[in-house]
Structure formats: C-alpha cells, structure tokens
Amino acid sequence: MTENKPGKVTMEKLVSLCQRRGFIFPSSDIYGGLSACWDYGPVGVELKRNVKESWWRASVQERDDMVGLDTSILMNPRVWEASGHVTQFSDPLVECKDCHQRWRADDLKENKCPACGGELTDPQQFNLMFKTFMGPVEEAANVVYLRPETAQGIFVNFQNALNTSRKRLPFGVAQIGKAFRNEITTGNFIFRSREFEQMEIEYFVKPGTDDKWFDYWVEERLNWYYGLGIKKENLRLREHGKDELAHYSQKCFDIEYNFPMGWAELEGVANRGDFDLKQHMEYSGKGLTYLDEESKEHVVPYVIEPSAGVDRSVLALLCDAYDEEIVNDELRVLFHFHTDLAPIKVAVLPLSRKENLSALAKDVYADLRPYFMTQYDDTQAIGRRYRRQDELGTPYCVTIDFQSLEDKMATIRERDTMNQIRVSVAALKDTLQAKLAGEDLFVLPEGGVIWKEGD
Ligand code: ATP
C-alpha cells in the first residue's frame, strides 16, 4: 500500500516545487521579500527564455508580415498623456474602515471587507503607473513613468518601423519587455505581480478589415498555446462586456486559462481601432499615417493587439504540465513540458562516481552541451536522480553504466513513458536532436530492446 495518492495541481504545490527546484523565488528573499515581485532561478530562467523564444519565433521569425522592436522602459511622459494612461489607467480603490486593508472595488462581490466584513470607504481612482524622477531634482517637471505596457513603444515607432522595414499593410510589430503596474491587489504567485513581462503585437490593418483580422489573431493565438501542449479544455475565450472595455478598445476577447484558483485572463486580444495612432499624431504633431497605393490616400491604420503576459504564460504552462502518478508505490511528480520549453533538455547521469565512468560521462556531457541545455548529475541513487529530472521536466536522461565502457553504448530514458533504449555514444547527439524535434524515439534499430525503468 502506498500512502501517497496522486493529486491535482495546487498553487501551494507549485510554489513549493518552484522554490525547491530553482524555478522561481520570492524577490529579495533574504530581506523578507518584496510584495508581488519574483525572481526566476536557474531552471525558471530557462523556461521563461524558451517561452519568449517560442513566441518570437511564431510572431516574428516565421512570418513575413511582422518585425520586432525593443523599446525603452522610460519614455517621454507626453506618451502617457496621449495614450490616456495619466487620466484613465486607474482602478477603483476602497479601504476597510476597521482593518484598513485595501481592495479593488471591482473585484469585490459584496460591499464589505472580504477580510473582516468591515465597512468600506467610497472608491477612489488610483493610478497604477509607477512614477520616478529623471535627473537629480525631484520635482514635478522631471516625473517619468515606468511603462505599464510595452504597446506604446510600438505606436510611437510606427513610422520608423514602417519606413525601415518597407512592409505594406497589413503588417505587425512585436515586442517583449518589462512592464510595471502598482497593482492594488496582487497574488496568486506570478499571476499578478507589480513587475512583469509582456509579449505584445500591434498588427496594423486597413480600416474596414479589422473584424477579419481580429478573428484571425484570436485563432492564431489560441493555436500558439495549443501548439505548446496546453490542454484544450483548459483554455476558453471570454468577450468583454461594453462596460469592461478599456478606454482605447472597441472589442476585446480574453483568452482565459483554468488556473488552480479558477478561470482568469492569460492574454487579451483587442481591437484598438485608430485610437493610439490618432492620439499620438495629435500630441506629437507628427504624421503617423500610411499611404495607400490604390487610393493614393493617407490612412490611419486600425490596430489589432494580442497582448500576452510572459509570467502568466509560464504559470499556465507550469500548471498544465504538472502531473503526479504512482510508480513502484512511490509518488512521481513531473512536468510534461513540450520539448521546446523544457528548461533542461538532457541530463547526463553516470551510474557511479568511479573514475573511468566519470571520464566517459564527462566526455558525453561536453559533447552534448553545445547543442542542448544539459545537466550533469552524479549524486545519489539513479532512481532519485531520475525523479529530480522529472521534477524539472527534463525530456531525456542519458545514463552511462559499466557496460558503456565496454560497448560504447548509453541508455536514453524518456520522461513521459519512462521507456529506455540503448544507442551508441557516437549517435547520442543525432538521436537526441531528432527526438527533441519530435521524432519517435522508440523506433528501434534491428535487434534493439525497449524496457521500462525499474524492470
Ligand atoms: P487584469 O484584468 O488581470 O488586471 P489587464 O486586462 O489589465 O489584466 P492587460 O492590460 O490586457 O491586462 O495586459 C495584457 C497582459 O499582460 C495580460 O493578459 C497579462 O497576461 C499580463 N499582465 C497584465 N497585468 C499583469 C500583472 N500585474 N502581472 C502579471 N501579468 C500581467
């Protein structure tokens, strides 16, 4: 009998595993942390980079109608006047008159404090932008903001991107970068933090074709998540009601994920119309139009914006890939990450620390490292080491045993099935490369053997 029962993913399990295995730590932990700020550890940074890389590949590299930008976090404060953020980017803040906790009024189901049931103050609009000062003098004239979204860096560069890339409508600009919001209520791990990263596309289209492109991008973005292995039943679309729409938005769909705390926004796809370009034309006095070759007229393009959060994508992918099962009466915890996302692709595990075995294993490790993010581990029993790699979501472990010294063969063990095959050391790199690209690992050469871990 086993005491361990496989269970569902919970936020507590994730937070603890992420900390224990080096995915995510509370920021400035040794000083007690900083509210709603997080640090990505040695494994987490790889996962996050892979998410961004996959998005960039799908949004820029594999398309001929998109280019990328990397714009600065600090921008001329006029940008935020034009965009409406100075006057409109706020949430209604209420405070409990008894316990003084603060809440977002639009998050509350009832008009009393969720913590103590106390009476609440009337809502006050609270601007979410972080302010700082540029230069040595802290005065109003020197106020600058940490950008609350990456989008505006794209709008103000519309003409630069258009002229230098020589794209024609419809075309888009993609950007990945940090954004900052002084959120009233935070929480749910990395779901809502005060410093986070966005992956945003501004896709410029001819007015009148915007509905078609809106539908296109909703589909395209859903497919990106499905392609990374997110289960269909865990994603859904939710259309914003008229009262929910942001000041710039004509239409907006949230792509929601079924997080452990419930369905919540993973990404927003909005039709921003010509709001932003027109505002920037008015405030900057510069032309941000497109010369339509057919009509010979200058048009202000409409914009479809798929705006995703890097951290929320990481959280959704962690939740979706998390799994528990019983193997040999013990609980096995693993992440079924898509191979493109797995932080570590290959682990090299010598069966013992004996010198001649270590030498061969280290050679194998050195050979594989230029091609894959590879880890070397020679501590503890092999079973424990497999479990550790399972918790990192490593798709393949390569085991070097005493037989390897004789026959120059190594064992490859696959994470999800725990199937093992034996291939020549010389063929390891090509075999792993093929497998990581999605070819079936367990098509064996003639005379080969498959067995399960533990058999
Ligand atoms: P919410 O309603 O959850 O506050 P939002 O509608 O304000 O989000 P957007 O302005 O549409 O969010 O931002 C686009 C994306 O940026 C979101 O879908 C989310 O993935 C990410 N994002 C926004 N705010 C945060 C945050 N505080 N922490 C982490 N990610 C965020």
Q: What is the pLDDT of residues 253-274, one digit of tens each?
A: 999 999 999 999 999 999 999 9
Q: Which residue's CA lies nearest to atom 8 of ligand 1? A: 265
The residue among 400, 335, 329 whose CA lies nearest residue 21 is 335
| Average pLDDT of the residues in 164-171 | 94
- The finding on whether 98 has its CB within 6 A of some atom of ligand 1 is no
Helices within 257-309 (DSSP H only) = 275-284
- The finding on whether 415 has its CB within 6 A of some atom of ligand 1 is no
Mean pLDDT of the chain: 93
Ligand 1: which of 247, 307, 310 to mutate, most ligand atoms within 8 Å of CB?
307
Q: What is the pLDDT of residues 93-132, one digit of tens each?
A: 999 999 999 999 988 889 999 999 999 999 988 899 999 9
pTM of this prediction?
0.93
What's the gap in Å between 91 CA and the centre of ligand 1?
A: 13
Ligand 1: which of 191, 265, 276, 315 to mutate, most ligand atoms within 8 Å of CB?
265
pLDDT at position 275 is 96
- The finding on whether 345 has its CB within 6 A of some atom of ligand 1 is no
Q: Which helix (DSSP H) or strand (DSSP E) does residue 201 occupy?
A: strand 195-205
- The finding on whether 195 has its CB within 6 A of some atom of ligand 1 is no
- The finding on whether 306 has its CB within 6 A of some atom of ligand 1 is no
Q: Which residue's CA lies nearest to atom 24 of ligand 1? A: 192
Bridge partners of 349, per DSSP, are: 399
pLDDT at position 450 is 66
Structural tokens at position 411: 């064992």
Ligand 1 closest atom vs CA 310:
20
Q: What is the pLDDT of residues 190-220, one digit of tens each?
A: 999 999 999 999 999 999 999 999 999 999 9
Q: Which residue's CA lies nearest to atom 19 of ligand 1? A: 309
Ligand 1 closest atom vs CA 307:
14
| Average pLDDT of the residues in 291-316 | 96
The residue among 348, 346, 365, 360 whose CA lies nearest residue 408 is 360
pLDDT at position 1 is 41
- The finding on whether 41 has its CB within 6 A of some atom of ligand 1 is no
Tell me the C-alpha distance between 314 and 310, whole Å.
6
Torsion angles phi and psi, residue 65, rounded to 5: -110, 20
Residue 405 · residue 356 · CB < 8 Å: yes
pLDDT at position 2 is 44
Q: Is the pLDDT of residue 89 over 80?
A: yes
User: Could you tell me what percent of the chain has a pLDDT over 90?
Assistant: 82
Q: What is the pLDDT of residues 69-85, one digit of tens each?
A: 999 999 999 999 999 99
Crossing angle (nearest 10°) for helices 355-368 and 428-436: 50
Ligand 1 closest atom vs CA 194:
27
